[in-house]
Amino acid sequence: MITLHSYPGLYGLEDNNPYGLKIYAFLKLCRLPFDHEHGIDVSAAPRGQLPYLTDNGLAIGDSDAIIVYLKRQYELTIDATLDLAQQSQDLMVRRTLDDLYWVMSYSRWRDDRYWPVFRKALLDTHPDVTPEQLEAARQFNFQRYHYQGIGRYAPEEAYARGIADLDAIANLLGDDGFLFGPNPGSVDAGIYGFVANIYHYAIDTPLKRHLLSRPNLVNHCLALRAELG
């Protein structure tokens, strides 16, 4: 039996981490039955990161590796019609989302304007999460941001980078359907994981304000969620 291990949900989403929500959406799109376990303990996780998947005694980490495994193991055809150019575009979009991740995370944990709202939402929604755990996670993230580089940016510079990522994806999407046609693929699950984690958050960050100015991103988010059933 497939089990998805991911961070807790927030603001009505099944996971407040875009990569976990990406895998949740992928599993739903493929109609694969699975259990969903939430938590913040990464001690059993491959690479020490969430999300990860367990299936038939195997533990698979990294969202892209999880999708590769699921496609092979269950002979999924969700991306079978993509040609070489589309496969390359899929990869480039996923790498753009990887860049956007750092700006999203920065807006929640690092920016003092938005951290109190995010902290309160987590504590109010998840009584088992303690203030001490959140503070430890925040300090850990500060270190990650410094070594990755986003922590060395001024806030307006960091958000400019994330806004450029959103624009690139919006420009590729166009105004109708999903990225490669009327049916969603795995890349659409990835876009959803990120866009939903901005759109549905009751935090007025520069990322959310810009997202709301790109109707096709909002429409994609709502259409993909409707596909999840």
Q: What is the DSSP string of 69-82?
A: HHHHHHT--TTTT-
Give residue limits of the domains in the chain: 2-74, 84-227
What integer pLDDT is reported at residue 45 of this predicted model? 85
> Rounded to whole angstroms, how far apart are CA atoms 187 and 93?
8
What integer pLDDT is reported at residue 40 of this predicted model? 82
pTM of this structure:
0.95
Q: Is 178 helix (H, G, I), strand (E, B) or coil?
A: strand
- Output 225-229 pairs: Cβ under 8 A, ≥24 positions apart: 225/192, 225/196, 227/28, 227/29, 227/184, 228/25, 228/28, 228/29, 229/28
Sign of the torsion formed by the C-alpha atoms of 88, 187, 213 and 141: negative
Planar angle of CA 141, 191, 24, nearest 5 degrees = 80
CATH number of 84-227: 1.20.1050
What integer pLDDT is reported at residue 208 of this predicted model? 97
> End-to-end distance of the chain based on CA atoms, in angstroms?
20
What integer pLDDT is reported at residue 229 of this predicted model? 81
What integer pLDDT is reported at residue 108 of this predicted model? 95
What integer pLDDT is reported at residue 219 of this predicted model? 97
pLDDT along the chain (229 residues), means of 10: 93 95 98 94 85 94 97 97 98 98 96 95 90 93 96 96 98 91 96 97 94 97 95
What integer pLDDT is reported at residue 175 of this predicted model? 87
CATH number of 2-74: 3.40.30.10
